[in-house]
């Protein structure tokens, strides 16, 4: 899966598009060798200008429409993210405006070509063509606001994280410096990809691993699941909501050694918030940095978790200890889902194949 907005072209402003179309028309007219008498030549040349302007504008606007995904057709995860970044209503209006402009330009083209065909005076033809230019320019200026809006939307939307939505996904949570990215690196084979993420200044880390049959994806979203809820703004809250449509399993990491800079109590508090927020999800609770943590620190967290009926896995992500156990639990919990996803994908491919027969 790629970012659905990746194919959107840069959106030109009305004036840029007008310029482009008029320049192309002049170029076409200057290399054109019309035949016949003076009147015929003038007619052909003016008609060519009008057709070229109309084609350039309509082709470009059609490309914009084709390459802009319909918001409601996007997977839920992307819809949630899009809703915080752009206003759906304005976005739809912008698309409708473009559609309207395409039709208007086409109509003007037909109308003015016809009028030029009836004219016998080259001066009048040039005047009609200039009138056509003026009317087309005014149609485009009418939608200038919408074009500009769409371009701004594109700027943010093209930076949405590229996440494979057809692979079951594990989301890592925990305070900064507890070892989230170290564990992600240890779990996933490929070097984690740092996808940009418009909600935080840091990128989102994405890595995958395979169990021989299926793929699993692990992501770490710095800035989202590493701070108390009260510190998050609306946009971040919405981004967390989006994570709920993506994540199928949460790995929560504690650093009982407190080397991360957050006291155990604070870590417990954050855990409670995230545990509550994602209560419908299976959790794997991890105590990291076991190589440097003191026994009483480990015990303190263990007792806290025991009261909730949870048994943590003790690891050292840095030394790779316990990582394999986590991998096995992920596989055990997500394999049925991985199987479902794979089956769905094969069925889709089959039906696409059948439709080509």
Work out how close the CB of 270 gets to ligand GTP at its nearest, in angstroms, rounded to a whole number: 12
Interface of this chain with ligand GTP, residues 103 to 132, rule: CB under 6 A: none
Q: Is 72 helix (H, G, I), strand (E, B) or coil?
A: helix
* Chain position carrying tokens 């149609």: 139
Q: Which of 49, 180, 248, 314 binds ligand GTP (CB under 6 A)?
A: 180
Q: Tell me the angle at which helices 122-142 and 38-67 cross, rounded to the nearest 10 degrees.
A: 10
Q: Which stretch binds ligand GTP (CB under 6 A): 128-136, 171-179, 227-235, 324-332?
A: 171-179
Q: Which stretch binds ligand GTP (CB under 6 A): 11-19, 108-116, 180-188, 334-342?
A: 180-188
Pairing mode of beta strands 193-195, 169-173: unpaired
Q: Are 100 and 57 in contact (CB under 8 A)?
A: no
Q: Which of 268, 292, 310, 313 binds ligand GTP (CB under 6 A)?
A: 292
Both tokens assigned to 216 = 């699993």
Q: Count CB neighbours of 62 within 10 A.
A: 13
Nearer to ligand GTP, 176 or 198 (CB): 176
Contacts of 85 (CB under 8 A, 6+ apart): 153, 156, 157, 160, 198
Interface of this chain with ligand GTP, residues 130 to 159, rule: CB under 6 A: none
Q: Which of 182, 217, 221, 297 binds ligand GTP (CB under 6 A)?
A: 182
Both tokens assigned to 133 = 């230019």
Residue 324 contacts ligand GTP per CB under 6 A = no
Angle at 300 between CA 298 and CA 304, to 5 degrees: 115
Nearer to ligand GTP, 143 or 293 (CB): 293
Nearer to ligand GTP, 179 or 312 (CB): 179
- Please name the residue ranges forming H helices in the chain: 14-30, 38-67, 76-85, 88-118, 122-142, 144-157, 180-187, 234-246, 264-277, 295-306, 323-356
Residue 44 contacts ligand GTP per CB under 6 A = no
Nearer to ligand GTP, 68 or 267 (CB): 267
Q: Which of 71, 95, 235, 318 binds ligand GTP (CB under 6 A)?
A: 318
Q: Are 219 and 232 in contact (CB under 8 A)?
A: no
Q: Which of 21, 316, 323, 326 binds ligand GTP (CB under 6 A)?
A: 316
Angle at 154 between CA 237 and CA 181, to 5 degrees: 50
Nearer to ligand GTP, 125 or 178 (CB): 178
Nearer to ligand GTP, 178 or 251 (CB): 178
Q: Which of 13, 55, 127, 177 binds ligand GTP (CB under 6 A)?
A: 177
Nearer to ligand GTP, 127 or 181 (CB): 181
Interface of this chain with ligand GTP, residues 191 to 230, rule: CB under 6 A: 222, 226
Nearer to ligand GTP, 113 or 317 (CB): 317
Q: Are 112 and 131 in contact (CB under 8 A)?
A: yes
Q: Are 312 and 285 in contact (CB under 8 A)?
A: yes
Site residues (CB under 6 A) for ligand GTP? 176-182, 222, 226, 288-289, 291-292, 316-318
């Amino acid at each position: 899966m790629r970012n659905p907005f990746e194919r959107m072209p840069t959106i030109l402003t009305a004036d840029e598009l007008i310029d482009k179309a008029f320049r192309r028309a002049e170029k076409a007219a200057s290399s054109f060798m019309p035949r016949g008498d003076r009147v015929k030549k003038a007619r052909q040349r003016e008609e060519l200008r009008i057709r070229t302007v109309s084609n350039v504008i309509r082709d470009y606007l059609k490309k914009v429409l084709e390459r802009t995904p319909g918001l409601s057709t996007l997977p839920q995860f992307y819809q949630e993210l899009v809703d915080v970044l752009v206003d759906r209503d304005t976005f739809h209006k912008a698309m409708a405006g473009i559609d309207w402009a395409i039709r208007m330009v086409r109509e003007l083209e037909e109308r003015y070509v016809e009028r030029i065909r009836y004219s016998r005076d080259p001066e009048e033809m040039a005047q009609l063509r200039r009138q056509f230019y003026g009317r087309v320019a005014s149609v485009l200026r009418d939608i200038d606001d919408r074009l500009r809006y769409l371009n701004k939307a594109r700027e943010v939307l093209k930076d949405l994280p590229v996440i494979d939505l057809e692979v079951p996904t594990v989301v890592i949570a925990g305070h900064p410096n507890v070892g989230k990215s170290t564990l992600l690196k240890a779990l996933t084979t490929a070097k984690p990809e740092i996808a940009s993420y418009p909600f935080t200044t840091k990128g989102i880390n994405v890595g995958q691993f395979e169990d021989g049959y299926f793929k699993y994806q692990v992501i770490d979203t710095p800035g989202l699941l590493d701070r108390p809820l009260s510190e998050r703004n609306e946009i971040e809250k919405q981004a967390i909501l989006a994570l709920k449509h993506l994540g199928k399993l949460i790995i929560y990491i504690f650093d009982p050694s407190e080397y991360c800079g957050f006291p155990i109590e604070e870590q417990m508090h954050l855990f409670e918030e995230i545990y509550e927020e994602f209560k419908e999800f299976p959790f794997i609770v991890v105590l990291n940095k076991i190589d440097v943590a003191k026994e009483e620190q480990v015990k303190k967290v263990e007792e806290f978790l025991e009261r909730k009926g949870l048994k943590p896995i003790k690891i050292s992500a840095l030394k790779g200890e316990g990582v394999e156990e986590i991998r096995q639990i992920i596989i055990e919990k997500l394999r049925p889902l991985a199987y479902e996803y794979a089956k769905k994908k094969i069925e889709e491919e089959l039906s696409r194949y059948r439709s080509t027969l």
